[in-house]
Amino acid sequence: MKEVRFHGRGGQGAVTSAELVAQAAIKSNMYAQAFPSFGPERRGAPVQAFLRVSNKPIKLRAKVYHPDYVVILDSTLVGVVNPAEGLKPEGVVIINSSKSPEELRSLFPGYNIACVDATKIAKEELGVPITNTTMLGALLKASGIVDLDYLEEPVKERFGAIAHKNINAYKRAYEETVIIKP
């Protein structure tokens, strides 16, 4: 089983991201669950969403405390929360950032890092700086958790007429994601 924890801010689409990958996994004949963790937070407050994907039925119903992958939709969260908390030693930090590899290594020493400037891509492809679907390209490149092709149908179902923009954004992010080794 692979576990993913998404870190974002209220309104950035972390929950939608987890749900889309879960739907893609189910379409690829795997088992998946996606769920949020938030209370009375307001738009802009830190939120988390969780994803599990497995070849076997998933019976666990708790938060993801020791993820294989951490997806950070908004790099301003680093320092406000500790996104790498509990990340497995071989885990990967997947971050939306324009920082250099050296800067990112200093933030997440010892971890593999997958980095893409999702904000730039989202602005160019979607016309807005909403990075959730864009970051899915980075997640799938870094993890291989599901094949990129399985994401298209859930995105079309969710976004309808603007789905093509989201598909272009996550495909571009997949290509532009840089993997940084420790």
pLDDT tens track for 3-12? 999 999 988 8
Per-residue model confidence as pLDDT tens digits over 17-74: 999 999 999 999 999 999 988 665 567 788 899 999 999 999 998 999 999 999 999 9
Query: pLDDT averaged over the chain?
Result: 94
Give the whole-number percent of the chain exceeding pLDDT 70: 97
DSSP 90-113: T-EEEEE----HHHHHHHSTTSEE
Q: In what side-by-side order are the strands of the sheet with 112-116?
A: 31-37, 46-54, 2-9, 69-72, 92-96, 112-116, 178-180
Per-residue model confidence as pLDDT tens digits over 110-153: 999 999 999 999 999 999 999 999 999 999 999 999 999 999 99
- Please choose, from the candidates 55, 54, 23, 18, the residue with its C-alpha nearest in 3D space to the C-alpha of residue 36: 18
The correct answer on CATH 3.40.920.10 for the domain covering 2-180 is yes
